[in-house]
Amino acid sequence: MSIFIDEKVKENFLHYWFGLGAPIVVGFGITLFSFIFLIGFEEFFLNEDFFIILNIIVIFANLGHLVIWPLFAWWLKSHANTIEKEGIENGARISLKLYLVWIVFIVLPSMWFAINFNGIV
């Protein structure tokens, strides 16, 4: 027995969770993969010959949750408008709101703490 009244409700439900979850998973997935790659090949990157590659991987680690998540959510939202999928649009909108919460309550306080208490703690 299905919990949904009809197929349209089920489709909107699945599209909503895709619009909400896909940008978050992609953004944090890139960040997590970059950190795992850095940890796995730590001794390899200590050599000065691979300094540029190390910087590129660190940039990807930061871009995942700071840039790729909101850009992917924005793209999903605009794409959902063109294909008229209301569930994806609503999920992407909530994903953008969660991104703002992430920045305001996690990233900015962490940056403030790191700048003001660098070396003290």
pLDDT tens-place string over residues 82-106: 988 999 999 999 999 999 999 999 9
Mean pLDDT of 105-116: 92
Q: What is the pLDDT of residues 32-81, one digit of tens each?
A: 999 999 888 888 877 788 888 888 999 999 999 999 999 999 999 999 98
Six-digit token pair at 106? 């996690």
Q: Please say whether the beta carbons of 64 and 27 come within 8 A.
A: yes
Listed in sequence order, the DSSP H helices in the chain are 7-40, 42-45, 51-63, 69-83, 86-102, 108-116
Q: Are 60 and 32 in contact (CB under 8 A)?
A: no
